[in-house]
Amino acid sequence: MNTTNTNCIFEISDFETMKAKVLNWSIQFSTFCFLDNHLYQSNTTSVECLLGAGVKRSVRIQAGNALEQLQHFMDEKKSWLLGHFGYDLKNEIEQLSSSNSTDIKFPDLFFFEPEVIIKISEKEIYIEATDPAAIFEILNESTTGKEKDAGIKKIAIQSRLSESDYVAVINKLKKHILRGDCYEINFCHEFFATEAKIDPIAVYNKLSAVSPNPFSALYRLDDQWLICASPERYLKKEGVKLISQPIKGTSIRIAGNQEKDAISKSNLLHSTKDRSENVMVVDLVRNDLAKICEEGSVQVDELYGIYSFPQVHQMISTVSGNLKADITFSEIIKSTFPMGSMTGAPKKRVMELIEEYEGIKRGIFSGAVGYINPNGNFDFNVVIRSILYNASTNYLSLPAGSGITFYSDPEKEWEECLMKAEAMKKVLE
């Protein structure tokens, strides 16, 4: 039996239709990763839409020596790999531990070499498989599956914390900041639902319609699902260049009122609090990259960039550097993970406080999902603005958070969390 992959490129007439067909076709696989930038154009864009489906080989590990084992797995064979880093890899990067629990149960690290790779751009589709032509024929004859969107049943979302409890925690964190324990801390809390039954592809389609962000993903690992509408890049490698794009600073979009929407955008640009948060994270990312990049090569390509998405305006900065020779993939991740925007400064101390005050394990949330190509280049998002779902227990999780500084207003931070969760809640409720 021939299991050697070949690749072919086919012309397509409708990008969105083909994307929907590919996504619907992927449901036959118990493991797949679908990455979609929704045609956002920028000078750091790489792949429009990428699917890895089926498993030739894989590595699934809990924190301990997970990155070292992943490096061995990568060294065995140069191939496409897709998968994720869970937040609790922090426990092997720093001397930390986790006693909190999660009901979603993604492993701390999972990567797989796919049986099938599909890349879709606006005018063509690339298929790498044992029989690319047969797959293309099946896709052409299939339906999009979007007709199932209307069948999503409403789900009642609960908050893990009441507003008053949330405010009390933020005030405690501000006391830590006043004492000098930290300068900024990203605090997250959970919206959730039990006995939730969803069609993940239908939910992803609806979320994409409401909030089509450039680092979106639909990721399945057996009964664990990630439905992600992330606007944030964790880290990209292209040749010797590393690029990280931390987000700190959010303001709401005002639909149907251009004047008020422009004011909201301007207020974000000139917000002293948001600039302060953003520059602290930029400094943290610069320090992380400096550990593995050539001396003098780390630079801030853009500071306080304001980017508009369907739900919110975001303040995004871009930091880059040129990788030193002979730095391994595992060394890159150890030096930069978790993303500074999802921790705070100083990183180790705030991760201790996060463990103490959040009360739940983040799991894949605030981790990263993405790909590594056969040349060793890669691109990973930050897992935020996401719905996490365990199909065997019917537990659904919707975490949201914000950066806390001494100047934070607890009530406004609560409102920011609600705003960030709005798109996901709208899809489910």
- Token pair in block for residue 358: 């959040």
Task: Tell me the CB-side half-sphere exposure of residue 392, using CA atoms within 13 A.
Answer: 9
Phi, psi (degrees; rounded to nearest 5) at 144: -80, -25
CB contact at 8 A, 59 and 69? yes
Q: What distance in Å separates the CA atoms of residue 160 and residue 398, rounded to the nearest whole number?
A: 10
Q: List domains and CATH numbers for the chain.
A: 6-137+156-428 (3.60.120.10)
pTM of the model: 0.94
- Reading the chain (429 residues) residue by residue, the pLDDT tens digits are 456 889 999 999 999 999 999 999 999 999 999 999 998 877 776 677 999 999 999 999 999 999 999 999 999 999 999 999 999 999 999 999 998 988 999 999 999 999 999 999 989 999 999 999 999 999 999 877 654 555 567 888 999 999 999 999 999 999 999 999 999 999 999 999 999 999 999 999 999 998 899 999 999 999 999 999 999 999 999 999 999 999 999 998 998 899 999 999 999 999 998 999 899 999 999 999 999 999 999 999 999 999 998 888 999 999 999 999 999 999 999 999 999 999 999 999 999 999 999 999 999 999 999 999 999 999 999 999 999 999 999 999 999 999 999 889 999 999 989 988 888 888 887
Q: What distance in Å separates the CA atoms of residue 309 and residue 214, rounded to the nearest whole number?
A: 9
Kindly tell me the burial class for residue 354, based on how many C-beta atoms sit within 10 Å of its own C-beta (0-12, 13-18, 19 or more): buried
Residue written as token pair 């990630």: 226
